[in-house]
Amino acid sequence: MPKTKTKSKQRSQAAELDGVFILKLVLYVLLGSLWLKIQHADLSSGIPLPIGLGLGLIFASHEHFRVDRKIEYAVLVVAALIGLMIPFGLFIGF
């Protein structure tokens, strides 16, 4: 008789996948919200560069365990827009 998978093993694997998905979304939000703002003495506002968005897009496109790449891209873009409005990131002044 061939062995069949029990429901308890399937439930534990699904719970692990949900946790991995939530962890990935949190990491993409944190990474996407990172900006590098370069300020010069002559410029009052500075030049913002989305370094976290670029790194996040590279990670999402080369990831082995893809859940849904479109969702990951959307989370990165929304986090980048929120990170642009809220002063969160690296500030370099010279």
What tens digit of pLDDT does each residue of 43-82 get? 667 788 889 899 999 988 887 766 678 888 999 999 999 8
Segment 2-7 mean pLDDT = 61
Query: What does the buried/exposed string (b/e) look like for 2-38 if buried means 16 or more CB atoms within 10 Å of the residue's CB?
Result: eeeeeeeeeeeeeeeeeeeeeebeeebbebbbbbebe
Sheet containing strand 47-49, edge to edge, reads 47-49, 35-39, 89-93
Residue 10 binned pLDDT confidence (cut-offs 50, 70, 90): low
Q: What is the pTM of this model?
A: 0.70
Residue 84 binned pLDDT confidence (cut-offs 50, 70, 90): confident
